[in-house]
Structure 1
Amino acid sequence: MRVPIFPLNSVVLPGGRVPLQLFEPRYIDMLTRCLKDDQGFVITLLRDGTEAGRVVSFYEIGTYVRIIDFEQLDNGLLGITVEGDTKVSITDSWQQADGLNMGEVVLLPVEASGDVPAVFHELPSVLRALFRHPVIHELGMSVDYDDARDVGWRLTELLPLDKQDKQQLMEMQDPLARLSRLQMLLEALGEG
């Protein structure tokens, strides 16, 4: 699949939602094409560079997202909300003349869902607390607090973790291994 790549300083996983503000011509053109062709794009975490920069490097694992809403914002910018669909591996990438990053991507296998083991009983409570925040609540995401995959994905997106930690958590394909790592990271945050 050949799709646009949108490097960000944050991660989104399947089912997650992110509001974005578009102002650069390359991304407004991308949005127009995506809407016209009923196609999404890939969000991947920036490795080096800035979100508005032309010279960037980014991680090879990202998430194919679909545009679920768009509006003209009060500040004159175009606002869109995207929802994560499927994790992907970027096998090749290049930059167009207008600065838009493009890539060939392969869909990664869908992670298995399963119950949150009792040893991780605190993690759904942490997630519930995060979902009470007005900004998170406003995104209208649904979450299954009993599903290890869902809980791990949302915590990876929402916790104030180092971006390399977020990327490592995202790249994991085992929901229980992700929960274990999240629990260790939360304990470290609590001690810090």
Structure 2
Amino acid sequence: MTTARLPLFPLNSVLFPGLVLPLNVFEERYRAMMRELLKTDDSQPRRFAVVAIRDGHEVAPSAPGMPDPTGLPERGPAAGFGADPIAAFHSVGCVADAATIREREDGSFEVLATGTTRVRLLSVTADGPYLTAELEEIPEETGDGAGALAEGVLRAFRAYQKRLAGARERTLSTPPELPDEPSVVSYLVAAAAVLDTPAKQRLLEASDVAARLRDELELLRSETAVIRHLPSVPAVDLTRAPTSLN
């Protein structure tokens, strides 16, 4: 397996391969990370790893990149994550490639990154201005029946979108264009569906594309059935999710 050591950016959300991640970076440890990434030549990827914070663990101030005035006054690369930071994070994350890192006048950063590859955390180190992690790349296996499952997931996803938008009696005049490659479908649906972090993390960790699609099909059918029986559902703009289609 391929291993690498990269800067670690913990979030309270899940990043998937192929999806775009916009970040507003205010906290000093992550500013330091971005300053270091800017030293990388433009011709090379500016990579860091995104991991989701486990439920029940203290979130460090501005862990998602935003300032938190109620956060603990703790300082340092592992602030808010305890004596053993790796225990605060889910074990599978995603490498992000920062296509744009723009420094503002106040020293904060506007970052636009794209998820690329799933990785497993092997160790976390706090011996610099920000956390770094040794990571093992997770190969992407297709699994059996992924093509047919992707078709079923797309049908279920369209029905789910209509329910979320409150379109109970009418059909969409122009259905949105969606991909048909099973792996892309699996990650797009995982990112766009309104699910909690543990459910999204389970989808990220799926053993192969077919397994992820099977799980999504079950989740979409279940969620659509629940929404159908609600008295009213406000319109939801899926493009406002933390990650969006590249």
Fold-level similarity (TM above 0.5): yes
Q: Could you say which residue in structure 2 is the equivalent of 1:122?
A: 155
Q: How many Å apart are 1:187 and its aligned residue? A: 2.2
Change (3 A) 1:73 1:188: farther
Following the alignment from structure 1 to structure 2, what is the Cα–Cα distance between the partners of residues 65 and 31? 13
Normalising by structure 1, what TM-score? 0.80
Q: Could you say which residue in structure 2 is the equivalent of 1:136?
A: none
Q: Could you say which residue in structure 1 is the equivalent of 2:136?
A: 106
Q: Which of structures 1 and 2 has the bigger CA Rg?
A: 2
Change (3 A) 1:146 1:109: same
Normalising by structure 2, what TM-score? 0.64
Following the alignment from structure 1 to structure 2, what is the Cα–Cα distance between the partners of residues 40 and 171? 20
AA aligned opposite 1:45? A
Aligned residues: 178
Unaligned runs of 5+ in 2: 64-78, 82-87, 163-176, 228-246
Q: Does 1:90 align with 2:121?
A: yes
Q: Could you say which residue in structure 2 is the equivalent of 1:11?
A: 14
Which of 1 and 2 has higher RCO (CA within 8 Å, sep 6+)?
2
User: Quick one: percent identity of the two aligned structures?
Assistant: 25
Choose which of 37, 55, 62 in structure 1 pairs with 2:80. 55
Q: How many Å apart are 1:120 and its aligned residue? A: 3.2
Q: Is contact 1:62–1:89 with CA below 8 Å preserved after alignment?
A: yes
Q: Could you say which residue in structure 2 is the equivalent of 1:154?
A: 188
Q: Does 1:46 align with 2:71?
A: no
Q: Could you say which residue in structure 1 is the equivalent of 2:216?
A: 182
Unaligned runs of 5+ in 1: 130-142
Following the alignment from structure 1 to structure 2, what is the Cα–Cα distance between the partners of residues 96 and 158? 36
Q: Is contact 2:37–2:47 with CA below 8 Å preserved after alignment?
A: yes
Q: How many Å apart are 1:96 and its aligned residue? A: 3.2
Q: How many Å apart are 1:150 and its aligned residue? A: 0.7
Following the alignment from structure 1 to structure 2, what is the Cα–Cα distance between the partners of residues 5 and 187? 35
Following the alignment from structure 1 to structure 2, what is the Cα–Cα distance between the partners of residues 89 and 42? 10
More strand by share: 1
More helix by share: 1
Following the alignment from structure 2 to structure 1, what is the Cα–Cα distance between the partners of residues 105 and 159? 33
Q: How many Å apart are 1:27 and its aligned residue? A: 0.7
Aligned CA-pair RMSD: 2.7
SS in structure 2 at match of 1:59:
coil
